[in-house]
Each structure stands twice: as C-alpha cells, then as structure tokens.
Amino acid sequence: MVKKRVWSALFLAALLLLSACGTGSNNGKESTSPANGTNNESAGSTLKPAKLKIVLYGDESNRMKELSKAEFKDLIKKEINADIEFQFLPWTEYGGGKTDLMLSTGEDFATYTDTNYMVKSVAKGLYTDLTPFMDNAAGDMKKSIDDNSFTAFQLDGKQYAVPVGNKPNSGEFYSVLARQDLLEEVGMTGISSLAELEAFYDKVHAKHPELIGYASTDARKMLMYEYTDKNLFWQNDMLAIDEAAKDDKVISWFESEDFKAYAAIMRGWYQKGIIPKYAATNLPQLQSDWNSGKAMFWAGTAARPFEGAASITQAVPTAKLANYFLSKDFPKISRGTYSTAWFVSANAADPERYVMFFNLLQKNQELYDLFAYGIKDKDYTLDENGRLTRNTTDALIPDWLLMNKNFMRFDNTVPDDFIAQYKAWDDDAIISKGAGFNFDNTPVKNEETKINGVFSELLAPIASGFLDYDTYFPKALEKLKAAGFDKYMAEYQKQFSAWYAAKS
Amino acid sequence: MANQENRMLIVVFYACISLFALICLIPFVMAVSGSFSTEARLAAEGYSFLPRGFSLDTYAFMFGSKAEQILQAYLTSAIVTVLGTASAVLVTTAYAYVITVKGFRYRNFFAFMAYFTMLFSGGTLPWYILATKYYHLDNTLAGLFVPYLLNVFLMYLQANYFKSIPHEIIESAQIDGAGHIHIFFRIMLPLGQVGLVTISLFYALQFWNDFYLPLLLVSEERLYTIQYMMYNMMANIQYLASGNSAQIGGAIIAPPLETAKMAMTCLTVLPIAILYPFLQRYFVRGIIVGSVKG
C-alpha cells in the first residue's frame, strides 16, 4: 500500500517536472523564433522586417499593455515595418543591475540612459554608435529638438544616444518651488531673497507647526545667489565651473569659500528646523512629506509646479505651487539637454530601425499624442483650447520621458500664463560652457571610488548642515586629500581644458 | 518552593514572549490597517492601529484593475513552490544519498564538487549567460525553480541525517537483494524523514519568497510570481523616493498609492499567515521525531 503511494507520488512529481520543463522550452523557442520567422505584411513599406525590444522602467499599466499589443504595435509595423516589444523592469535595474546584464550578454534592445551611465558603458563598448543613422533616420527629431541636446550625448564626436524629448531644463533646481497657497495664507506675495524665504518659514511655522520647511537636504543651487557672486554650475558633487567667467577653470567646490558660506546657511536651517532632524537618517521621508503636502518648499524646475501638483492636491486639495528665484541677476544655465537619451545595445541587429522608432515618438503632434496619451476620445479628450482631459490614470509610454515643449498638452488646471512662462523658460538661458563634456574616469577610477566614499560619509553631512563646518571640515578635507582628490582634480582639469580648447 | 520559582519563571517567559510577539505584530497590524484606510487621510495623518476612515476602496481598486494579474501571480507562485519543492527535495536527497553511500568510489569527489560551489561561484554574469544562452531558462516556468534545485547546505544537512542511519540496515537490505534505487526510496527516505521535513520547509519558503529568479529571467507578465510583483512595486517606490529619479529628467513621477502598497503587502503575506498555523504542527513534529528514541 505504502509502496504504491510512494511510487504514484513520485510519478506525479516527475510528470509535473517534465511538463514544466516541456512548456518551458517551448516558450523559449517561441520567443526566439519570430526573429527570422516573421515576414512582411505591410505592403507600403520597402523596409525589410525587423524586431525591436524597448526596455522601460517602472510599472506597466493595463492600458499600456493593451495598446502595446494593438494600436502601438500596428502603427509601428505600418510606419517602420518593425515588430515591437516593450519590456518593463523595476526602477532598481536602471543604469545597472539587469540592464547591465542584458548589455554585457549582448542582448538586442534599446532603452534610456543618462550621461554618467553612457560614459561608463561606451568605455566597455556596450552601446552602438548611432552617428551613421542620424541624418536619414532621425530627421523629424532634429526638427523638434535642438542641436545642443544631441551634442550632449556625443563622445569623441560620435552619437551614442539620442535625446528622448525636449523640455525646458535650464535653471534646474536653482529656484525655490514654494507652496503658493501657504505663502498667500501668511500674507506674502513672493520670495526674492533668503531673508524672505526664512520669513516665509517662520510665519508658516507659527501657524502650522506640523509642517516641515525644506523637503530636501541639498540647496546649493537654490541658495547660490545668496552665498556667492559666481554663477556656479556643478559638474558633479565635487566640482563646479563658473559660468560668469570666460575660462576653463574647474573649481573644487568643497575647498572654496563659497562652500563654507553655504554650509553655514545650511547649519542654521538644520538647527532652526527648516530641514527636519530626521532628514539625516531618513531621506526618502522628505520626498514623501513633500508629496503629501507636509512641506513648505522644495527645489524647483520649470515643470515641477504642474508635474508635482497632482500628488500634493490629493492630500491638500487647495495646494498651489510656484517657482521663485532668490535673485535674477544671473542668466539661467542650461546643460543644453534633457538629461535622458535613448541608446541601442551594441549587439542590436538593426540599430537604424531603433533610431527610426525614436524618431517616430517625436515625429509630429499626432504620433506624440498617441504615444503619450493614447487614443483620442477614448483615453483622452481635448477641449476647444486644446486642453487635455485624460480618461484613464494609466501611464502609457511615460509622458515625462517623451515630454517635448512643442507637442505636450496641459490640462485645465494649468493657467495660460504659466504655459506661456513654461514655454519661454529657456529663452533667456545660457548653455553651460561645459555642456557636452563627458569625463573619462578610467585613469582615476580608484580615486573616484574613494572620494565618493568620503563624500557620502563626511562631506554630505556637512553640506546638509547636520554637522558643523568648523569642527568637522578639517578632518573631512584631510580624508579627501588622502583619497587622492588632488590627482582626481588634476585629471579632470586636464581633460576639461583639452576639451575646452578643442571646442573654442 | 521550586514550583513557585518555576511558575515565576514561566510568567516572566510568557511576558517576554508576549512582548516580542507584540513587537513583531505591530508592523503587520499597521499594514493591515493601512490597507483599509482612505488614501487622503493616510497621507495627511500617517499610520495608525485602526484604519483611518475605514474603506475597502483600495482592495476594490486592486482587484478591479489587477485582479487577473494577482490571481495569475498567486497561481504561478503556488505552482513554483509545489513543483520546486518536490523536485528540489528529490534532487537534494538523491545527491545526499550518493555522497553517503559507503563503497561508492567517487563520493568524495562529488562531495567536494558540491562543497566547492559553496566557496566559489562564477558570478552573476556567467550565471546569467549560462541560464539564458545555453539552458534557455528565460521566460520559462522551469527558470523559476530549476536554478535552485540543489542547495548545497541543505544537501549536507540531509546527508548528515542519512549518515545517522546505521549502515547495517543498508547492508541487510543489500543481502536481501535490494539495489540502490530500492534502498534509497524504501529505506533511506522513510528513515530520513526528519531531514526531509526540514529541507522541504526550507525549500518551500525559499521558493515562495524568491523574487530574484523572476527578476533576472522573466519578462513576460504571465510568469510573474506574487513576490516579484511585490518587489517590483516596492523597488519602484523606493527608487522614486530616493531622489535618483531627479537625474532622469528631473521629473516627478507620482509613486503608487500608499494604501495600495499596504494592500499588496497583505495579499502577499496572507497565504503564509493562513497556512502557517497548520504547517507549524508538522514543523514541530518533524523536529521532535526521533528525539526520544534511544
């Protein structure tokens, strides 16, 4: 009896195992065979069929799932004769993790990148050089996106990635994004100096002691107008350049007097409670406080007043946001680009087709509407002024990714003057003199790792005001030097000067 | 006197254990209460032991928009756990038997081969290439458990149980004409039951809780496990909240709703929470089996 039972159980287990592996290998075949198996159905196209895989990060919404199997797929097939597949990965895999694995194992796909990740990956030969395809395949894109955005993703004159969109990006984080409703509540009209900003905090704090002041720990850009006469633009956490000076000098930010003055302000903020005490240990809490309307101000960008409003108004329906520059003496600085760009993996069979797809996303208003908002009158409606009402909250191809000021639509809640201001945001901006420069860290890789360690362990807490500058900075500086900062700085300066000279 | 002392001690122990249990329970209660709160009040007032503004909206929303995926993910998780545990136990015990058989010439070699992998591994990249390019485990159900079929630590655990079985029993079976397969299934497995129960539970828990294999090998949603769905959601929230997203175009992407997060947590934990009181009986029995035999 027992014997029978044991054998039948084992048989069942073996059967299950076999069937699992069986279906498994079938699926494996399924997913690889269409590459050479599919053929051309679209009569209009002269292109030979291709297969594209686009990796996106975040959650795939239900509507996106439907569209990517139907309308998106059909349209892309019709326009560029390509079979498209969208794969969604968790955000943790962006710029590393599985993305790295997929690149290193030579998979055929495209996704988006920033300059840091691009420099690293190009050094390993993981991106395709897209230069040969730019003229033919990216024509429409070049019309709706300015040239500087393209140069930012070139290395040695080769185009390794193409910008995903075109949105005003100058003066990013240089403004104070204030809760306008609170500002008005305490009888103020605007903020134009540090003193006014602190007065704003004091007044609101007296009325609403439960609110925190600043929902971040980094205010160096926003406060720049207060502690220095330079127009600083940061290349990374350590180094800055002065956009007001016409030279190629790289400034060591932490060693400067400006940093000392900045640290003093931040120390004051921390002690006063403008930056809450828990910020030192629980950084993510700050952003969630901001999102739930529990903070007074944040660092602003051109788009943040409307981009961020949705989540705040959920908790505080009356919330309004507005950008204020503490001083407007300096022109806004632009990196010359949207910080995100599409790249194609080195092993892609048909890189040109990928570029054609990127081009399609930014080709015209009609296609932009489709990819960002879905199908007209089903997923969204437009009123007579072209204002957008979405019928679904499902994100499609994320609209922040596609965002192009020439095509994007606003909903009814955004005032006209804001849209005008938004579209003209970059008009008086200057392009950073370092725009397009990408540092090759190979010669100082070890130093860079150590320096980053010193930065997060010792320097960041001083910069955020958690620790006192006079007491802790000398030791931090000593460690920074011991980590090889001078060598790193010299290498950076050398590369920057060479690049600068070649440019001018 | 001694009795009273004992009683005192028991009271103290109970107090300590209750306190500890309470501490463990708090986050769970908060998650459950959070999942039943309304989003606006949760955002404004934070977590509490009792739901703030009791509502079933979150669950209605989850099952309204994601019912199919959640059920599918549950099913996948269950299949992977059952199938994975059954096959992993089979492979592990078989390996354990092989390296404990007296008279098998290469058993030390095999023992070493297994042990070696505990100390050195090829790294993620070669593993990934092997799994995707050679074994084609990507986007397959097999990919969700085959890589974990042999856990060397558990294999040694089982081998030790086998070693504790007197060799004479095996010898007598051999005299009666039993072959290895017969000995393995009829003698070793029934006698090594204690170990079997232990490693089964370890495996089952490992398979239920795993999100790493789906993360690396699966891109089709029909193969998502419930843990991976959960991981995906959490990873996205954490990344967006950490401010790294500012690098990506300086965009603010509204993170998923807090209540939805909590509801998802409850859904993931639920089956284990329901099953555990029943499983626990076997778990405890498994451990004490044989403890009073001479």
Confirm if A367 and A361 have CB atoms less than 8 A apart.
yes
At residue A139, φ and ψ (nearest 5 deg) are -55, -50
* Interatomic CA distance for residues A111 and A98, integer angstroms: 12
List CB contacts (< 8 A) between A13 and chain B. 86-87, 90
C-beta atoms of A65 and B243 within 8 A: no
Please report the pLDDT score of residue B115 as a whole number. Answer: 92
Confirm if A284 and B238 have CB atoms less than 8 A apart.
yes
Tally A–B CB contacts below 8 A.
157
Give the pLDDT confidence of A202-213 residue by residue, as tens digits. Answer: 999 999 999 999
C-beta atoms of A114 and B39 within 8 A: no
Between A220 and B243, where is the model more confident?
A: A220
Domain that holds residue B213: 56-256
Collapsing DSSP to helix, strand or coil, A464 comes out as coil
Confirm if A226 and A266 have CB atoms less than 8 A apart.
no
- Rg, C-alpha atoms of chain B: 25
* Interatomic CA distance for residues A431 and A101, integer angstroms: 35
Question: Is B164 among the domain residues?
Answer: yes
Please report the pLDDT score of residue B148 as a whole number. Answer: 93
Helix residue spans in A86-158 (DSSP H): 97-104, 115-123, 134-137, 139-144, 147-151
List CB contacts (< 8 A) between B136 and chain A. 25, 28-29, 32
C-beta atoms of B254 and A310 within 8 A: yes
Confidence of residue B149 (pLDDT cuts 50, 70, 90): very high
Confirm if A232 and A241 have CB atoms less than 8 A apart.
yes
* Interatomic CA distance for residues A182 and A321, integer angstroms: 9
* Interatomic CA distance for residues A234 and A242, integer angstroms: 9
The H-or-E segment that residue A50 falls in is strand A50-57
Nearest to B125 among A104, A173, A311 (CB): A104
Give the pLDDT confidence of B181-208 residue by residue, as tens digits. Answer: 999 999 899 888 878 888 888 898 899 8
Ranked by mean pLDDT, the top range of A43-47, B42-46, B148-152, B271-275 is B148-152
Contacts of A25 (CB under 8 A, 6+ apart): B136, B140, B142
Contacts of B169 (CB under 8 A, 6+ apart): B187, B191
pLDDT above 70: residue A20: no
Contacts of A406 (CB under 8 A, 6+ apart): A144, A166
Angle, helix A71-80 to helix A62-69, in steps of 10 degrees? 40
Q: What is the mean pLDDT of chain B?
A: 83
C-beta atoms of B43 and A292 within 8 A: yes
Q: Single out the residue of A454, A491, A461 nearest to residue A476, CA to CA.
A: A454
List CB contacts (< 8 A) between B146 and chain A. 21
Confirm if A137 and A354 have CB atoms less than 8 A apart.
no
Distance of CA A228 to the CA centre of its chain: 28
Give the pLDDT confidence of A431-473 residue by residue, as tens digits. Answer: 888 887 888 888 999 999 999 999 989 999 999 999 999 999 9
- Enter the tokens of residue A349: 């069979």
Angle at A55 between CA A52 and CA A58, to 5 degrees: 150
* Interatomic CA distance for residues A274 and A216, integer angstroms: 10
By DSSP bridging, strand A162-163 and strand A239-242 are unpaired
List CB contacts (< 8 A) between A112 and chain B. 248
* Interatomic CA distance for residues B162 and B95, integer angstroms: 11
Question: Is B269 among the domain residues?
Answer: no
Nearest to B39 among A293, A314, A403 (CB): A314
**Percentages (nearest 5) of helix, strand, coil residues in chain A:** 50, 15, 35
Collapsing DSSP to helix, strand or coil, A403 comes out as coil
Question: Is B97 among the domain residues?
Answer: yes
Over residues A284-304, mean pLDDT:
85
Q: Single out the residue of A133, A85, A134 nearest to residue A111, CA to CA.
A: A85
C-beta atoms of B142 and A58 within 8 A: no
Helix residue spans in A208-252 (DSSP H): 224-227
Question: Is B286 among the domain residues?
Answer: no
Smallest Cα distance from A43 to chain B, Å? 30
Nearest to A292 among B44, B146, B215 (CB): B44
C-beta atoms of B248 and A339 within 8 A: yes
Hunting for tokens 């700050």 — which residue is that?
A286
At residue A425, φ and ψ (nearest 5 deg) are -50, -45
Nearest residue on chain A to B228, alpha-carbon basis: A90
Please report the pLDDT score of residue B16 as a whole number. Answer: 95
* Interatomic CA distance for residues B260 and B258, integer angstroms: 5
C-beta atoms of A17 and B137 within 8 A: no
By DSSP bridging, strand A162-163 and strand A154-155 are unpaired
- Enter the tokens of residue B280: 């626990």
Over residues A387-411, mean pLDDT:
83
Over residues A346-354, mean pLDDT:
93
Please report the pLDDT score of residue B249 as a whole number. Answer: 42
Question: Is B220 among the domain residues?
Answer: yes
Left if phi > 0, otherwise alpha if psi is -120 to 50, otherwise beta: which for A386? left
* Interatomic CA distance for residues A363 and B52, integer angstroms: 48
pLDDT above 80: residue A351: yes
Question: Is B205 among the domain residues?
Answer: yes
Other Cβ atoms closer than 10 A to B16: 10
Nearest residue on chain A to B216, alpha-carbon basis: A98
C-beta atoms of B86 and A17 within 8 A: yes
Other Cβ atoms closer than 10 A to B284: 10
* Interatomic CA distance for residues A476 and A470, integer angstroms: 11
Hunting for tokens 């190629």 — which residue is that?
A248
C-beta atoms of A104 and B240 within 8 A: no
Distance of CA A434 to the CA centre of its chain: 19
C-beta atoms of B253 and A401 within 8 A: no
Mutate to test the interface with A, among B66, B200, B252, B264 (most CBs of A within 10 A): B252
Q: ipTM strictly over 0.90?
A: no
At residue A344, φ and ψ (nearest 5 deg) are -120, 135
Collapsing DSSP to helix, strand or coil, A51 comes out as strand
Confirm if B245 and B176 have CB atoms less than 8 A apart.
no
Over residues A265-269, mean pLDDT:
95
Between A382 and A335, where is the model more confident?
A: A382
Contacts of A456 (CB under 8 A, 6+ apart): none
Q: Single out the residue of A152, A146, A81 nearest to residue A115, CA to CA.
A: A152
Please report the pLDDT score of residue A392 as a whole number. Answer: 79
The percent of residues in chain A predicted with pLDDT above 70, rounded, is: 90
Smallest Cα distance from B248 to chain A, Å? 6
Please report the pLDDT score of residue B34 as a whole number. Answer: 85
C-beta atoms of A292 and B247 within 8 A: no
pLDDT above 50: residue B177: yes
Mutate to test the interface with A, among B219, B222, B234 (most CBs of A within 10 A): B219
* Interatomic CA distance for residues B118 and B151, integer angstroms: 9
Angle, helix A194-207 to helix A257-272, in steps of 10 degrees? 10
Angle, helix B258-288 to helix B226-241, in steps of 10 degrees? 130
Q: What is the CATH number of the domain that holds B248?
A: 1.10.3720.10
Other Cβ atoms closer than 10 A to B39: 20
Nearest to B250 among A23, A101, A172 (CB): A172
C-alpha to C-alpha distances, A22 to A12, B78, B142, B147, B222, nearest whole angstrom: 15, 18, 9, 16, 17
Nearest residue on chain A to B136, alpha-carbon basis: A28
Please report the pLDDT score of residue A31 as a whole number. Answer: 36
* Interatomic CA distance for residues A239 and A233, integer angstroms: 9
The percent of residues in chain B predicted with pLDDT above 90, rounded, is: 34
pLDDT above 70: residue B63: yes
Confirm if B77 and B225 have CB atoms less than 8 A apart.
yes
C-beta atoms of B242 and A62 within 8 A: no
Over residues A101-127, mean pLDDT:
90
Question: Is B209 among the domain residues?
Answer: yes
Smallest Cα distance from B235 to chain A, Å? 6
Lowest mean pLDDT among A153-162, A469-478, A481-490, B88-97: A153-162
C-beta atoms of B136 and A287 within 8 A: no
C-beta atoms of B252 and A17 within 8 A: no
- Enter the tokens of residue B192: 């090594």
List CB contacts (< 8 A) between A65 and chain B. 221
Left if phi > 0, otherwise alpha if psi is -120 to 50, otherwise beta: which for A336? left
pLDDT above 70: residue B23: yes
DSSP letter for A331, please.
P
The percent of residues in chain B predicted with pLDDT above 70, rounded, is: 85
Direct distance between the N- and C-terminal alpha carbons of chain B, in angstroms, rounded to an integer: 33
Q: How many domains does chain B have?
A: 1
Hunting for tokens 């900003």 — which residue is that?
A197
List CB contacts (< 8 A) between A169 and chain B. 249-250
Question: Is B39 among the domain residues?
Answer: no
C-beta atoms of B133 and A90 within 8 A: no
Smallest Cα distance from B63 to chain A, Å? 13
* Interatomic CA distance for residues B108 and B99, integer angstroms: 7
Other Cβ atoms closer than 10 A to A37: 10
pLDDT above 60: residue A270: yes
Between A475 and A315, where is the model more confident?
A: A475
List CB contacts (< 8 A) between B90 and chain A. 10, 13
Between A80 and A307, where is the model more confident?
A: A80
C-beta atoms of B136 and A25 within 8 A: yes
What does B163-199 look like in DSSP terms, one character per residue?
A: HTS-HHHHHHHHHTT--HHHIIIIIIHHHTHHHHHHH
- Enter the tokens of residue A327: 């001083």
Nearest residue on chain B to A285, alpha-carbon basis: B241
C-beta atoms of A90 and B239 within 8 A: yes
Helices (H) and strands (E) in chain A, counts: 24, 18
* Interatomic CA distance for residues A88 and A99, integer angstroms: 11
Q: Single out the residue of A371, A373, A349 nearest to residue A362, CA to CA.
A: A371
Smallest Cα distance from A302 to chain B, Å? 10
Nearest residue on chain B to A65, alpha-carbon basis: B221
* Interatomic CA distance for residues A294 and A316, integer angstroms: 9
Q: What is the mean pLDDT of chain A?
A: 85
Confidence of residue B250 (pLDDT cuts 50, 70, 90): very low
What domains can you pick out in chain A, each with its CATH number?
A: 43-168+338-401 (3.40.190.10), 175-334 (3.40.190.10)
C-beta atoms of B43 and A167 within 8 A: no
Confidence of residue A387 (pLDDT cuts 50, 70, 90): confident
List CB contacts (< 8 A) between B145 and chain A. 20
